Chains A and B, each alone.
Chain A
Amino acid sequence: MSTWLLSILIFSPMLGVLVLAFVPSHDEKSIKWLGILGTLFPLGTALITLSAFDMSSDKLQLAETYRWISYEVFQSKGEVSYPIFYEVGVNGLSMVLILLTAVVSVLAAVASFSIKKNWKSYFILFFLLEMGMLGVFAAQNLFLFFIFFEITLIPMFFLIGRWGYVEREKAAYSFLIYNGVGSAILLIAFVSMFMKTGTMNFEKLTETFSLPQEELNAVFITDGYMMGMLIALLIAFAVKLPVVPLHSWMVSVHVQAPPAIVMIHSGILLKIGAYGLITFGAGMFPEEFRSLAFVIGLFGVINLLYGAFLALTQTDVKRVLAYSSVSHMGIVLIGLAALNEAGITGAVFQVVSHGLISALLFFLVGALYERAGTSELNDLGGLAKRMPILAGVLLAGGLASLGLPGMSGFISEFMAFLGLFEKMPILAAVGTLGLILTAVYVLRAVLAITFGTEKEQHETYTDLTSAERVPAFVLLAAIMFIGIYPAWLSDMLRPALDVILLGLGG
């Protein structure tokens, strides 16, 4: 069992697809319930995986390797075989992200109750998307990573384009083009690395690139080549994260995609960018990464402030949250740039924390949109009267987002900044301006929705239903759990991050 566990986990969403295939497409109720059940199975498997995971080990765990494809190339030194394996495995970092994926997927499936049409194809795409995400985090070689990475793009394209709001198609194309360009760069970099080293396996690549320079020169891997690879990878994942100025696709996806899909998009898909930066950037090219640390930190602070400044004057709450995501991803970069234990841990905490917080906030915005038919701040207001629970959870989510202690957002911001202050205190001090701006735009948006005088048309609105309370409370509980007891997460992450830190020499 345990030898297959990870593969079962990755492909577990396919069970949902299989079952759905036998349900008539007009049977809305069954489809929606099966949609939730279909995500519970991966969650269960993920929890079993977690229990099989040894938190204290820094080795790759639950690894599976099968020979998959191989081909021979005739070179000057004779016939060289280039085998490609199916290799999966988890370390602390990917385990955490897999867990996050499984949890957010269940809650997004619940939020998908508000989907109005074509439920069957919606959920089939949804499951495909989930499989892609699980695969991305479990893959242990470039080829597999890339395949799963691409698998996430296609369902997303259709999910945005078919079930989104008014300008959904434009947003879907924007998504596809940006990410397509990112993927192209990624592909070129991956192929090049494969050709130079003859392997696609993460660990072997890391080993190869950490060889002494003389040995590397013998196989034509120069300093310049490594730096070029790193920059290519940084750009590819900068599209995903996204890093200013490559962010505009992400804003339109946030605004146009259905809220359940934004929960996944903002909660997990953006995190692939962070995961890539850590695993490939800092993990494989530590020397080069270190020499770019200031640039990365600078981009982090720019992201943080740029997103925050733009969020200040948006009038649509979805746009506020979109720019807020841009801003919060800046904290990931800030943490990474610090290259110390506090910074890297902070970056990963931010990945998890923002995943939960943005899932919560978009869930609430979706619930709000269901009732009000709008997410314009000017059309809302005074909702605390009719919807005290929604208002309360929204405020709590907002406070988590602005980094209130006791919530996960605080821990991640605190650690990322703590890290950067050791290395680049002045840049970090400029960045702390973002902490103030975040408070301003979060409170502006939240208070505009819930505080103030109630408008007449709101009198018929109802509070969160008990079905809606489940995701809201689960997410809030997770956010507070990490905020109050961060050791749970940091202990799980430490072995994996220590390996990366060792490489970075920090």
Chain B
Amino acid sequence: MLQMSWLIPLFPLLSFILLVVFRKSSNENTAWIGVLLTGASFVLSFGAWLAVWQGDGIKVEGTWFQLGERAITMGYEVNPLNALMLVIVSLVSLLVHLYSKGYMHGDERFSVFFAYLGLFSFAMLGLVLSPNLLQLYMFWELVGLGSFLLIGFYYFKPEAKAAAKKAFVMTRIGDVGLFIGMVLLFWQVGSFEYDEIFSAIKNGELSQSMLTLTAICIFVGAIGKSGQLPLHTWLPDAMEGPTPVSALIHAATMVAAGVYLVAAMYPLFQASETALTVVAVVGGVTAIFAASIGLMQKDIKRVLAYSTVSQLGYMMLALGASGYVAGIFHLTTHAFFKALLFLAAGSVIHAVHTQNIEEMGGLWKKLNITGPLFLIGALAISGIPLLSGFFSKDEILMSTYADGKYGLFWIAVIAAFMTAFYMFRLFFLVFTGKPRGSQKGVHESPSVMTLPMIVLGVLAVVAGYLNTPWFGTFLTDYLSQGPVELLHADHHGPVWIPFVATAVALLGIGLAYMIYQKGSVSRDWLTRTFPGLSHVIYNKWFVDEGYDRTVVKGTTGLSWLGVWFDKYVIEGLVAGVVSGVQALSRLGSEMQNGQVQSYGTFAIFGLVLLLLIAALSGGYFS
């Protein structure tokens, strides 16, 4: 099975090629091309995962091109970490393909949409299979392309155009960090291979400052892709893309690639305490920062987007706090429950044709499948016991505490409270109470959409049992087969942590219930109590505005300065030379005016000049 794993990304690529050829077809059965080929990828991925579970693995490489003495290689590798990623990516991609058949029904560019999904899936699976940093970087950029194309799928909308561009550019800022880190490592180690890099680190071939520098550069790439502070602003805007895209790319897979990158390069990070701290702090601060914005957003998808940013922050926090397993565990569970939440949100949008939660309400009865599934997702992300999010979040809190990062621990606890609050604010506003907008003809989505949601719903409940203190630490055992030495394999934080986590989650849900369901606390209680703060939060901490006034304006200003310089200084110099030459030639032509008198004068002048030189230089000319 493992020998065939190189086929995993090629199936979606084939789907992309076929669908580009059939892009004009109005027959919506073209979707099945995508579904079947992604299904094939999933089957192979699952097989690969089972093989790895039994202790198997594979790495195949060949020379891509020769650079002097060094061969730059390409190939594929299956190890515990990426086998798990393969399953997550191909499964979510498969479900999203299926869901999209219903969601995109009737769209003019139906087949093109599936083609782009195929391209993205190809790139994402290729990224995960890469055995070296260069190959990862290439696919890293290609997933960015897939994301760009799908965010800009409704290309005629100015917002979609702006969002697509912003996503590409902001992630590219991060990519440059990754690029620098990768190249620096190459000149230190002489290879892009993970294995070579890790063994060089182990043998102490790199200085401590170089380790820290390269780790942080690579982390900058992860910041861009995973929407961490300060490069997070593209991710909420990316919600301009069709909702299935948000579920696949901007919740479950691509944005998690940053976390995957840190995990895949973990030995590098482990070698530098500073780098780990940077990862943890960025993650922790992002977690609470994004959660705070999520409290006040009115667009259902934007709430979920900020929630994604926040949850990715949790994963980074875990990795930074030596909680390698916890980070990956949360990545896994989050992929399921967040994809579920997005698909459910898509189902709601599909029904009511608005994304504004103030125009929803009372949908529980009408959407009797979507509603309960959304509730499962919300409970899971809030960290209610027995659901998947509880276990993974618990592990993150445990690792953070065990690592002695108490400040970040409490930040994470507060963020958990906020998470529970904004999720249930969303739930109550959307599904309970009285309908606030016109809800004529609202009906449940077709089964092609609900079926993928049900699968994800089941996974959102059970995925937590991959790693529990009660039933066994399967994930920990599984991941410890990989190249990463799990230093704190068992984080035994204090026993009170799960109780605190559960308590804050219940508190958040309770508060949301009081405000948005029962109405016993006024809705503008928060805005009235903290007017200044809530104004800032409502405006997303003015980050976009800040960037606009500094970076964007500064760059444009520099550009104008350059244009001015080009026009006046450079062209001016040229004009000066030209007019100088012209003046000289005019002088020359004026001398030739046909008057013998002036010729005589010039001749005399010339003679005087020559004599003068002869006299001064002592009569010697040459």
Interface membership of A443, Cβ < 8 A: yes
Q: A253–B537 Cα gap in the complex (Å)? A: 51
Interface size on B, residues (CB 8 A): 46
**B65 to chain A: which residues have CB within 8 Å?**
486-487, 490-491
Chain A residues 403 to 436 lying within 8 A of chain B, measured CB to CB, are 404-406, 410, 414-415, 417-418, 421-422, 425, 428-429, 432-433, 435-436
Q: Known: A313-B563, A405-B139. Contact between A415 and B67, CB under 8 A?
A: yes
CB pair A452 B158 closer than 8 Å: yes
CB distance from B226 to the nearest CB of A (A): 18
Interface membership of A385, Cβ < 8 A: yes
**A248 to chain B: which residues have CB within 8 Å?**
566, 570-571, 574
Query: When the two chains form the complex, which single residue of B137, B161, B168, B180 contacts A429, counting CB atoms closer than 8 Å?
Result: B180
**B142 to chain A: which residues have CB within 8 Å?**
404-406
**B496 to chain A: which residues have CB within 8 Å?**
none
**A404 to chain B: which residues have CB within 8 Å?**
141-142, 145
CB pair A454 B156 closer than 8 Å: yes
Interface size on A, residues (CB 8 A): 51
Q: A425–B176 Cα gap in the complex (Å)? A: 14
Query: When the two chains form the complex, which single residue of A385, A428, A486 contacts B64, counting CB atoms closer than 8 Å?
Result: A486
Interface membership of A372, Cβ < 8 A: no
**A447 to chain B: which residues have CB within 8 Å?**
152, 161, 164-165
Interface membership of B538, Cβ < 8 A: no
Q: A404–B176 Cα gap in the complex (Å)? A: 13
Q: A417–B64 Cα gap in the complex (Å)? A: 18
Interface membership of B558, Cβ < 8 A: yes
Chain B residues 41 to 69 lying within 8 A of chain A, measured CB to CB, are 63-68
Q: A384–B137 Cα gap in the complex (Å)? A: 29
Q: From B186, which residue of chain A is reached at the shortest CB distance?
A: A418
Interface membership of B40, Cβ < 8 A: no
Query: When the two chains form the complex, which single residue of B23, B137, B165, B574 contacts A443, counting CB atoms closer than 8 Å?
Result: B165
**B64 to chain A: which residues have CB within 8 Å?**
486-487
**B566 to chain A: which residues have CB within 8 Å?**
248, 310
Q: Known: A342-B67, A406-B138, A439-B172. Contact between A382 and B180, CB under 8 A?
A: no
CB pair A309 B562 closer than 8 Å: yes
Interface membership of B173, Cβ < 8 A: yes
**B138 to chain A: which residues have CB within 8 Å?**
405-406, 410
**B141 to chain A: which residues have CB within 8 Å?**
404-405, 410
CB distance from A262 to the nearest CB of B (A): 19
Q: Known: A435-B179, A487-B65. Contact between A312 and B152, CB under 8 A?
A: no
Q: A406–B123 Cα gap in the complex (Å)? A: 11
Interface membership of B550, Cβ < 8 A: no
CB pair B161 A444 closer than 8 Å: no
Q: From B135, which residue of chain A is reached at the shortest CB distance?
A: A405
**B68 to chain A: which residues have CB within 8 Å?**
340-342
Q: A151–B68 Cα gap in the complex (Å)? A: 37
Interface membership of A399, Cβ < 8 A: yes
Query: When the two chains form the complex, which single residue of B23, B137, B169, B570 contacts A245, counting CB atoms closer than 8 Å?
Result: B570
Q: A454–B180 Cα gap in the complex (Å)? A: 40
CB pair B67 A313 closer than 8 Å: no
**B164 to chain A: which residues have CB within 8 Å?**
447, 451
Q: From A413, which residue of chain B is reached at the shortest CB distance?
A: B179
Q: From A405, which residue of chain B is reached at the shortest CB distance?
A: B138
Chain B residues 329 to 380 lying within 8 A of chain A, measured CB to CB, are none
Q: From A439, which residue of chain B is reached at the shortest CB distance?
A: B172
Q: A263–B421 Cα gap in the complex (Å)? A: 59
Q: A82–B66 Cα gap in the complex (Å)? A: 43
Query: When the two chains form the complex, which single residue of A312, A340, A415 contacts B555, counting CB atoms closer than 8 Å?
Result: A312
Q: From A310, which residue of chain B is reached at the shortest CB distance?
A: B562
Interface membership of B187, Cβ < 8 A: yes
CB pair A310 B156 closer than 8 Å: no
CB pair B67 A384 closer than 8 Å: no
CB pair B555 A452 closer than 8 Å: no
CB distance from A382 to the nearest CB of B (A): 6
Query: When the two chains form the complex, which single residue of B145, B165, B183 contacts A418, counting CB atoms closer than 8 Å?
Result: B183
Q: A342–B563 Cα gap in the complex (Å)? A: 33
Q: A119–B63 Cα gap in the complex (Å)? A: 49
CB distance from A167 to the nearest CB of B (A): 13
Interface membership of B560, Cβ < 8 A: yes
Q: From A437, which residue of chain B is reached at the shortest CB distance?
A: B555
Q: A443–B176 Cα gap in the complex (Å)? A: 17
Known: A341-B68, A428-B183, A451-B156. 7 other contacts (CB 8 A): A313-B559, A436-B176, A437-B555, A447-B165, A451-B152, A453-B156, A491-B66
Question: 7 nearest interchain CB pairs?
Answer: A405-B138, A341-B68, A487-B65, A312-B559, A451-B161, A313-B559, A451-B155
CB within 8 Å of A: which residues of B?
23, 63-68, 134, 137-139, 141-142, 145, 152, 155-156, 158, 160-161, 164-165, 168-169, 172-173, 175-176, 179-180, 183-184, 186-187, 555-556, 558-560, 562-563, 566, 570-571, 573-574
21 pairs of residues in contact across A and B, judged by CB atoms under 8 Å: A309-B555, A309-B559, A310-B562, A312-B556, A312-B559, A340-B68, A404-B141, A406-B138, A422-B187, A429-B180, A435-B172, A436-B173, A437-B555, A443-B165, A447-B164, A447-B165, A450-B155, A451-B161, A452-B155, A452-B156, A487-B66
CB within 8 Å of B: which residues of A?
245, 247-248, 306, 309-310, 312-314, 340-342, 345, 382, 384-385, 388, 399, 404-406, 410, 414-415, 417-418, 421-422, 425, 428-429, 432-433, 435-437, 439-440, 443-444, 447, 450-454, 486-487, 490-491, 494
